[in-house]
Amino acid sequence: MRVSTKKTLLVAFVLALPFFCKADETTSKNAVMSIIKENKLEVVNYDYALSKFGNGTKDTQKAVFIDARPLKKFESGTIPSSIQINDSEFDEQIKRIDKVAKDDEIVVFCQGWECQKSANVAARLKKLAYTKVKLYQAGYPDWAKNNYVQVGANVVKNAIENNSAMLIDARPNTQYKNESIASAINVPDTQVDELVGRFPSDKNTRIIVFSQGNDCKKAHVVAQKLVSLAYKKVMIYADGLPAWKANGLKTTRSSCDCDSKNEPKAPKNPFLGPIKKGLDEGTVDPQWFLQNYKNLPKDVSIVDVRKSSERGGGYLPFALNVSVEENDVESFAKKLPKGYVIFHCTAGSRALEAYQKAKKAGLKNTVYLDAAAKCVKDECEFTPNEALDPVDW
């Protein structure tokens, strides 16, 4: 009789679970709505969030995206280029946006309508006098259903170990051949239409795209193409190859026996006119550039090859702007200044493409800066990338 009673109680409990869960969800939603009402928070939808997204990189976004979830959730998937500020660690993590102006727009999100964290963070931001705080309460689940997401290195590692995703390197083929994340295929963003056949036939395949780091838009371009083709599980590893290598993770070079033949060797003829050559073919020596770029010889020019729309956040005032993406080979070559030219972009990949385009046009006095560039107003900070394939050129 006692056993029968226990079974009866267990069955009753199981049958009641949906009711309890529904009640819990309702309670959570009510708590969120109370915070929204009390703090007069403005709630926005996916279309609004998308309108502020730009091309996915921080410098093109029209709002600062804040993920209010814990770090583990953030690293497993987030809206690209978001900043993590968890409500339980708010006082410490608010420093992450100390350079954000009080009148800049901020979009806060978390795990959906049952998640109070985004409302808590948005309310505290308003109390700190941030005047344009928006709440994307449908949050990460809603975004992931409609668009590509950003993941951390652990997700990429697990995907490689379990063979559970296709990895795509969106950088130029030259960089891919020199070094990439082991097992990745190459679909450069500039050739995505002609190489669309490399994408899997199953639209539910998990796909992780990466390029040269957080400021490089190439991974975003390929990811957006995949989304437009109705692929459902598209991700980017925005930290890219530089961070992967910095963490000592496996690359196509670290997994091969190639140390001896790839020892850096300075070119026998170290200068191209007045410009000191770098170790990789076509590059300018980064240290020489850092020491001289503000006072270059009169016959040397710097050309910013980004789109003009990308220069809103900052640029070198003495650099000519000729977009490598918006000009064919002939037009690009005609717009370049006479003398010697150094190309630069945001992360180094488009500068390489500019060098290749100039070379195809028959120009011999051009080099590119293989470095990340962060520009604010009329100042730029350059962080050189590691030489990939030292040769005597």
User: Can you say whether residue 172 is alpha, beta or left, with left for phi > 0 and alpha for psi between -120 and 50 degrees?
Assistant: beta
On the question of pLDDT at 12 being above 80, the answer is no
On the question of pLDDT at 110 being above 60, the answer is yes
Q: Label the pairing between strands 371-376 and 366-368.
A: unpaired
> pLDDT tens for residues 47-98?
999 999 999 999 899 999 999 999 999 999 999 999 999 998 999 999 999 9
Query: How much is the average pLDDT of 244-258?
Result: 83
Question: Residues near 227 by Cβ (< 8 Å), separated by ≥ 6?
Answer: 147, 148, 234
Instruction: Give percent above pLDDT 90 in the chain.
Output: 82
Q: What is the DSSP letter of 139?
A: H
The Cα 81–Cα 147 span in angstroms is 14
Query: How much is the average pLDDT of 181-205?
Result: 96
Average pLDDT, the chain: 91
What is the residue whose two structure tokens read 């948005």?
A: 122
Query: Band of the pLDDT at 385, cuts 50, 70, 90?
Result: confident
Query: How much is the average pLDDT of 115-143?
Result: 97
- Would you state the pLDDT for residue 19? 53
On the question of pLDDT at 20 being above 50, the answer is no
Query: Band of the pLDDT at 237, cuts 50, 70, 90?
Result: very high
The Cα 293–Cα 320 span in angstroms is 13
Nearest to 83 by CA among 74, 92, 91: 74
Residue 174 CB: number of other CB atoms within 10 A?
A: 18
Query: How much is the average pLDDT of 261-280?
Result: 83
> Computed over its alpha carbons, how large is the radius of gyration of the chain?
25
Query: How much is the average pLDDT of 194-208?
Result: 97
Query: How much is the average pLDDT of 107-130?
Result: 96
- Would you state the pLDDT for residue 21? 47
Distances 203 to 72, 206, 228, 267 between C-alpha atoms, Å: 27, 8, 11, 47
- Would you state the pLDDT for residue 276? 97
User: What separation, in Å, do the N-terminal and C-terminal C-alpha atoms of the chain show?
Assistant: 90
> pLDDT tens for residues 26-37?
667 888 999 999
The Cα 220–Cα 238 span in angstroms is 9
- Would you state the pLDDT for residue 9? 58
> pLDDT tens for residues 44-57?
999 999 999 999 99
- Would you state the pLDDT for residue 387? 82
Q: Which of 50-54, 157-161, 310-314 has the lowest mean pLDDT?
A: 310-314
- Would you state the pLDDT for residue 14? 52
The Cα 171–Cα 244 span in angstroms is 15
- Would you state the pLDDT for residue 1? 44
Paired tokens of 139: 């949050």
